[in-house]
Amino acid sequence: MTQWGKRQEPQDPHRQEPDTKKSKLLRECVREAVEDYFAHLDGHPTSDLYRMVLDEVEPPLLEIALRQTRGNYSRAAELLGMNRATLRKKLKQHEID
């Protein structure tokens, strides 16, 4: 308890608050890529943009998580904030070994 009587939640030593500057950089990269995509459509119709973006972003994210955890699926799933079964499903979906 703090001096004001409110219970403080234990802090996860491995969890870091996102670096706002880096987060904005990633957001800007995605924004620029999507805007570039629309600029090159040349008036052609498009649909399912959300799925298309996920299909482009998810595989490298999964691969990096696995590389950072040296192939440990449980740790990679934890790093990504998902359960191991979901990670395996996504790896299969994107044909990542």
pLDDT at 66: 98
**Residue 15 resides in a domain:** no
Question: Are the beta carbons of 77 and 87 closer than 8 angstroms?
Answer: yes
In CATH, what number is assigned to the domain containing residue 69?
A: 1.10.10.60
Residues of the chain above pLDDT 90, percent = 69
**Residue 58 resides in a domain:** yes
Question: Are the beta carbons of 21 and 15 closer than 8 angstroms?
Answer: no
**Residue 5 DSSP code:** S
**Residue 93 resides in a domain:** yes
**Residue 75 resides in a domain:** yes
pLDDT at 43: 85
Question: How many domains is the chain built from?
Answer: 1
Question: Are the beta carbons of 48 and 37 closer than 8 angstroms?
Answer: no
Q: Which domain holds residue 64?
A: 48-97
Who wins on pLDDT, 16 or 61?
A: 61
* Closest among 62, 53, 68, 52 to 97, alpha carbons compared: 62
Give the residue-averaged pLDDT of 55-66. 97
What is the per-residue pLDDT across 22-40, written as a single tens digit (0 to 9) for each? Answer: 677 889 999 999 999 999 9
**Residue 8 resides in a domain:** no
In this predicted structure, the answer to whether residue 49 has a pLDDT above a threshold of 80 is yes
User: In whole angstroms, what is the distance from residue 35 CA to residue 24 CA?
Assistant: 16
In this predicted structure, the answer to whether residue 11 has a pLDDT above a threshold of 60 is no
